[in-house]
Amino acid sequence: MHFFALFLFFAFGVMGLTMLGERLYRRLREGRAFVSLGWGVGLAWLANSSMWSGWAIGGLRYDWVGVTVTGLALGGSALLLHGVLGFFAGLHRKFDDQAEQLERSEPELRRIA
């Protein structure tokens, strides 16, 4: 269970680094998936983190394969988290529409429309 929390926090970190890179370089927006996967693999290699050793699943012939696949999973999870958080962040636009708020606050706009 501890490794799942570590994996989730790493995925949030990869998502944050990807979003920071998008703010600094606008062209990264098209390549978000590649950047996210690259950050995930880099972070997994830096931390030497493998899902298989973390969950005590044996049978991998080479340890570097587990670390690389963990990095790819981190990047994919970061993309998924970015989509889910983007959905929830956009809900306020649906529920609190600015045009409707202006119409409620200024009764002159209702008479014109």
| Overall size of the chain counted in residues | 113
Confidence of residue 105 (pLDDT cuts 50, 70, 90): low
Confidence of residue 1 (pLDDT cuts 50, 70, 90): confident
CA distances from 56 to 9, 17, 24, 37, 53 (A): 20, 29, 39, 24, 5
Instruction: Give tens-digit pLDDT for 52-99.
Output: 887 778 777 888 888 999 999 999 999 999 999 989 888 877 777 666
In the chain, the percentage of residues whose pLDDT exceeds 90 is 44
Q: Which two tokens stand for residue 9?
A: 């926090």
pTM of the entire predicted model = 0.76
Q: How many domains, the chain?
A: 1
More confident residue, 103 or 54: 54
Provide the domain limits for residue 82: 2-112
Of 90, 88, 77, 69, the closest CA to residue 18 belongs to: 77
